[in-house]
Amino acid sequence: MSLVTEYSNDGKQFIIHITGKFDFSLVQDFRESYDGISERATTVVVDFRETNYIDSSALGMLLNMRKSFGPGSRSIHLVNCRPDIRRILDISRFDKLFVID
């Protein structure tokens, strides 16, 4: 389980890469990853390419992140979801709150 962050070259995207399990063990690291995000970053991307598991606490962390940014301040994209992760996001109706690519 690890979490790595980066900005796009133009600084407009803040990208969070999650490897392994996205569960309660990452709650503190995940919160700290977007705390103090640059004002230039208008889009937040959570990359699930290397994520093989998410649980309900991960869903809660995503909702808390969205809430912390405030309404309409940033677009949040959940990308590179494996089919089982996409199914969890769909069942949870996250497609109404996030852009899922």
Q: How many domains does the chain have?
A: 1
For residue 11, pLDDT beyond 80:
yes
If residue 76 lies in a helix (H) or strand (E), which one and from where to where? strand 75-79
pLDDT digits (tens, 9 = 90+) for 29-69: 999 999 989 989 999 999 999 999 999 999 999 999 999 99
DSSP state of 23: S
CA 5, CA 12: separation in Å to the nearest integer? 13
For residue 71, pLDDT beyond 90:
no
CATH number assigned to the domain comprising residue 59:
3.30.750.24
For residue 73, pLDDT beyond 90:
no
- DSSP of 46-71: EE-TTEEEE-HHHHHHHHHHHHHH-T
Q: Is 0.85 topped by the overall pTM?
A: yes
| Enclosing domain of residue 91 | 2-100
